[in-house]
A = this chain, B = another copy of it.
Amino acid sequence: MIAILSSGCTLKEKTDVVRLLEILGHRVSVSPFGRETIVGVVGTSAPELEARLAAMPGVRETRRDVPPYALVSREHHPETTVVRAAGVEIGGDEVVVIAGPCSVESEAQILRIARGVAACGARLLRGGAFKPRTSPYGFQGLGEEALDLLERAREETGLGIVTEVVSGEDVPRVARTADVLQVGARNMQNFRLLEACGRQGKPVLLKRSHMGTIDELLLAAEYVVTHGNPRVILCERGIRTFETATRNTLDVSAVPVLKERTHLPVIVDPSHAAGRREWVPALAAAAVAAGADGSIVEVHDRPDEALSDGRQSLTLQGFEAMMRRLQRVAAAVDRRLGVSFAPSGGPTCPTASPRPT
């Protein structure tokens, strides 16, 4: 059950509601909801309790059959949310491309790639410091050292940083460096991590699990928002199916379905879906045509030497070609890229110069 407290509700009214519920033995979550407040009462839908709540001062509305994801649903929030990170708006007119290597491997590597993708119109830099790996013997990232290198890359290129956090304990440290905290597919239902991301203020890029439903993704986002952070970006990155030609099956339909169900911005990761760089540009273009707000792609200047995911990383040349294609497809659906390429010749990137973050 939830109670919505009106925007004019006083602090005393709010604490009275919460105190009553706690005295009655209920577990309570309190979340901002625009200028109002949602008080969630866990595990009950007793009509008597609802009547009692509805009669209290400050309570505007009660609902016993809570929609499963009340805060991220578009039902109560028809306009699309724009999430701002490092000066970039995700969810607005611009189709935002996030690019960079799977893992930060060295200072030279991350700087070369950061300069390269910035020159082609990438708006944020991705790069893994902490890598969750299926095998304990895989390369697990350079850790904190990589965070320092990402800061160097930001200083030099002006690109904001998107990097993964794999544990609630690490959130404060990663959030000091990152402009956007990424929660990876395997952690979509690591609820402690979601809660920790909800208790800080940096935007969260939440990737759909490779076997999570669209509604489970929305419920995971609801965890972040109920803990206080409304700045969530959703990311479709391919689901696990019987097809083995691709690494995962990009569920491009998730884009219009999510756009209908939630007000949060939606981007796509074509690299992990495809698993091979040859197919990445087609998938990125498909996602933009379907209405995605952006794309996060893996780029490496020497993909054959990459410590992880080299097979699916675009070269810098391949990235530029993809960006030219995206520019045209974005225009065809009345969006724009943060770069303009002359029909023949190099890009004119308004964003390639260092910007303060």
Residues of A within 8 A of B (CB): 2, 27, 29, 40, 42-43, 66, 68-69, 132-140, 166-169, 186-187, 189-192, 209-216, 219, 222-223, 226, 239-246, 249-257, 260, 273-274, 278-279, 282-283, 285-291, 307, 325, 328-329, 331-333
Contact = CB atoms under 8 A, between A and B. Distances in A.
A240 to B, nearest CB: 5
Given A209-B211, A244-B213, A253 B283 contact: yes
13 contacts: A40-B136, A132-B191, A133-B191, A134-B216, A134-B219, A209-B211, A239-B241, A239-B249, A245-B257, A256-B278, A282-B290, A286-B286, A329-B329
B210 A211 contact: yes
Nearest to A186: B189
A289 B132 CA distance: 32
| Complex A-B, nearest 8 residue pairs according to Cβ-Cβ distance, in ascending order | A211-B211, A289-B289, A286-B286, A328-B332, A43-B139, A285-B289, A256-B282, A332-B332
A43 B245 contact: no
A139 B290 contact: no
A18 to B, nearest CB: 15
Contacts of A257: 245-246, 279
A214 B134 contact: no
Contacts of A279: 253, 256-257, 260
A14 B286 CA distance: 47
Nearest to A281: B256
A167 B244 CA distance: 30
Given A43-B139, A167-B168, A191-B133, A249 B253 contact: yes
Contact of A333 (B190, B242, B325): B325
A137 B126 CA distance: 33
A69 B76 CA distance: 41
A214 B279 CA distance: 15
A174 B97 CA distance: 43
A76 to B, nearest CB: 15
Given A214-B243, A214-B245, A289-B289, 18 more contacts: A42-B138, A132-B189, A132-B191, A136-B191, A242-B242, A244-B244, A250-B253, A252-B252, A253-B273, A253-B279, A255-B286, A282-B289, A283-B290, A285-B333, A286-B289, A329-B329, A331-B332, A332-B332
Contacts of A214: 243, 245
B40 A222 contact: no
A333 to B, nearest CB: 7
Contacts of A244: 213, 244
Contacts of A246: 253, 257
A328 B325 CA distance: 13
A260 to B, nearest CB: 7
A283 B253 CA distance: 7
Contacts of A291: 282
A68 to B, nearest CB: 6
A243 B252 contact: no
